[in-house]
Structure 1
Amino acid sequence: MAGYIAEFFGYRAEDASNEALTAVAQKRCPFLGTQCTKILSRDRIVSGVCAIRQKTDGSPNVICCPIRIYAEDYKMLHTIANNAFGMSLNLYAGRAAVDKARSEGGAIAVFGHGWGGELRLPQREGTGSYFVDWVLARLDATGELVEFTAIEVQTIDTTGNYRDARQTLESSREVVPCTVGLNWENVSKRIIPQLIYKGQVLQREDLCRTGLYFVCPQPVFERVLSRLGGREKLPHFPTQPASIHFVSYDYTNDAPLTDGQIRPLGVIEEHCTTVYKVQEAFSSLNLPEGNVYRDALRRSLYGEN
């Protein structure tokens, strides 16, 4: 497998503008406004890699850093809050939302990624985790908790190595191939089972009326759908406590960008189904015909057709 770095510190890898070069020099993430938090474990180098693409012609840029989805001052959180609660309220970090709700006639308390601290959930023995990336809690005009929703964000893990390509890009702004690949196997092994487990946990919450939102890049969404047997295996359902909302993000402007510009993201598709349908689709097996191993052995041993 071979690929390229597609976005580096927020800008196209080919972008040699002052804005792009300054972001690299400062190791700055333009989406957080602080230093990039993604560190290469072996030598503690700041990564700066937001998206990659495979070497195959026509391969899309695939976001590999979840921070990339938080562009435009966490616009994604506002979008999902409006969708889940059916109203436009301001978002505030954790406990700060209580007083704001009383003065503004309502507000959204945000927990996750440095916004409102970690929720003190009970520890679970064995496998599985209660924790989600984000919790949005709607408070009424008195500051009381009325309802909440949860968000899980997943990009794509990588395989191989882009360390040398990253170094070349930083030193000379030259895009060179590397062994980086996309870890699609994680879609089946980790992402889908987590969605099922967390969706079932949230269904038991009296104040979680909209279930779980799963936010991911469009190519990841398509791979999840493929693993689950396609859209026909995941019929649309109205929003309910057992809902899983698939929300796919991707680049919304295919036109050439001027150097110094960051390509915008937006919602490509939103599909609401239930945790039961996801579990059913994940459990169902498309088995091959019988004796596939026997026939393969015979072909290898005896050259039989």
Structure 2
Amino acid sequence: MAKKGGPTQPSGNFVSEWFGHRVYPGVITSPTALADQQSERCPFLSAATQEERPCIKAEASKGVCTINTSSANGRQDWLVCPYRALSSELVATAIRQLFNLPATHVPFAVPAITLTKENVRADLTKRLNAGQPAFVYFDAKMSGELSIPPTESSPEFAFDVTIIELTLENGQPHIGKFGILEIQTMDFHGSYRAAVRNMRDGLRLHPNTFSKTLEENPQWLCEGVEGPNIANVFKRTFYQMMFKFQLGAHARCAGCVLAVPQSVWDSWHRHLGAPTLIPEPDGTFSLLAPGQYRPNPVPAWICVFEPQSAAKVTPSPIAVTKMIATTVPAMSHWALEVAPQAALANIDSSAGMLFLLQRRLKKLWPELAQTLTT
């Protein structure tokens, strides 16, 4: 369990999960956490493949899953490794929405890399014959990512996770529709290198008291780690999001789910023009343009999730906080019409851009500053 109390934690940006286990706020103390950190094992890839898998990140960021920062909504975790979110709960939630399964259905999904095993093939066939929905998925580190090749008029687009529906024909599995799951990570300024070095050194020097030592030295976790690059990530993501949200128009595609941490969704609020979410009877939400109705089937979903840092188990489970149905026209309306209109209104406001210009000109050329009127 995570230890509580101890010295006051300094402000800053902290590595919050290392090799899948909580190190801030509070440090998880368990044999499993220590074993994973010492062996540099990825618990998420290992669970998905049912094989021991090491962390696949570069040495400078080895083992770093999430970064914890201060925001307008308190301290929040930001995802910096997509495999941290590739949990059975999140994959099942995405599958239910994409393939219109009832909430009571428990879809069975395995990474495609396991299809070489006869027992996996037999298990999938058995489950399909028993009426359980079954799926396989491809991604970059497990089976290889899939992509749409480029054309004369479009670029190549690769998918984070491609989910393939299995259907049953004459008692044997066949390929049905496919769906896309995109997992949004965050880029940070600075580097994790010093923080990773600190944790490795601490683990090497204090293997029997690592969690206690780490709790007493939280500054180890934030050395060199700067803030999230929110604007750059949104700009980089927006085009891909708008493109992939249209894939549901293809007859073989069930749609696209964009999975974003709560911290990212909160940070996008202004970029999306502070959109209004409409609660639906099934517990989901709709993000639509004025006068637009929710389509059936829904081509695009935004899945908002958050690691449950206070959970008694480790790694912390992923909880889905919102499932939001949307469309490309709706996203375009809020991000490319509403947000710019709000920005234009703030050019000549009492604390807007022209006010800032006048204030700076007063220091450079006071007489010129006086000519600026709103």
Same fold (TM over 0.5): yes
1:132 aligns with 159
Partner secondary structure for residue 147 of structure 1: strand
Query: Secondary structure of the equivalent of 1:36?
Result: coil
CA contact (8 A) 2:137 2:164 kept: yes
State yes or no: 1:9 paired with 2:19: yes
Q: 1:198 to 1:238 in 2, by over 3 A?
A: same
| RMSD of aligned residue pairs (Cα, Å) | 3.2
Alignment of 1:157-236 (within 5 A): 157-172=187-202, 173=214, 174-176=217-219, 177-180=222-225, 181-200=227-246, 202-209=247-254, 211-232=255-276, 234-235=287-288
- Residue 270 of structure 2 aligns to a residue whose secondary structure is helix
Pair 1:90 & 2:90 matched: no
Cα distance in 1 for residues equivalent to 2:264 and 2:71: 17
The residue type equivalent to 2:230 in the other structure is W
Distance 1:7 1:102, change over 3 A: closer
Please point out which of 33, 42, 67 is paired with 1:29.
42
Q: Structure 1 CA distance, aligned partners of 2:155 and 2:198?
A: 40
1:298 aligns with 2:371: no
Structure 2: runs of 5 or more not aligned: 1-10, 47-52, 203-213, 278-286
**1:150–1:266 CA distance, 2 compared to 1 (3 A):** same
Per the alignment, residue 310 of structure 2 pairs with 254
Structure 1 equivalent of residue 65 of structure 2: 50
Using the aligned pairs only, state the percent identity.
24
Are the aligned partners of 2:19 and 2:65 in contact in 1 as well (CA < 8 Å)?
yes
**8 Å CA contact retained: 2:164, 2:176:** yes
Deviations 1:57-109 (A, max 9, x none): 942222221111123xx332122112222154422444949876655236323
**Residues 139 and 239 from structure 1, CA distance in 2 versus in 1: closer, same or farther, beyond 3 angstroms?**
farther
Question: In 2, are the aligned partners of 1:199 and 1:242 still within 8 Å (CA)?
Answer: no
- Do structure 1's residue 63 and structure 2's residue 63 form an aligned pair? no
Q: 1:218–1:55: structure 2 CA closer, same or farther, 3 Å change rule?
A: closer
Q: TM-score, normalised by structure 1?
A: 0.82
Cα distance change, pair 263–93 in 1 and its aligned pair in 2 (3 A): closer
- For 1:238, the equivalent position in structure 2 comes to 294
Measure how far apart 1:35 and its partner are. 0.7
Aligned-partner Cα distance in 1 for 2:192–2:15: 8
Q: By how many angstroms is 1:135 displaced?
A: 1.8
What CA distance in whole angstroms lies between the structure 2 residues aligned with 1:301 and 1:188?
35
> 1:155 & 1:120 partners in 2: Cα distance?
19
Q: How many residues align?
A: 294
Paired residue secondary structure (1:79): helix
Q: Which has the larger radius of gyration?
A: 2
In the aligned structure 1, how far is the partner of 2:143 from the partner of 2:295?
26
Provide closer, same or farther for how the CA distance between residues 99 and 12 of structure 1 changes in structure 2, counting only shifts above 3 A: closer
2:137 maps to which residue?
110
Letter matched to residue 308 of structure 2: T
Gaps spanning 5+ residues in structure 1: where?
none
SS in 2 for 1:31: helix
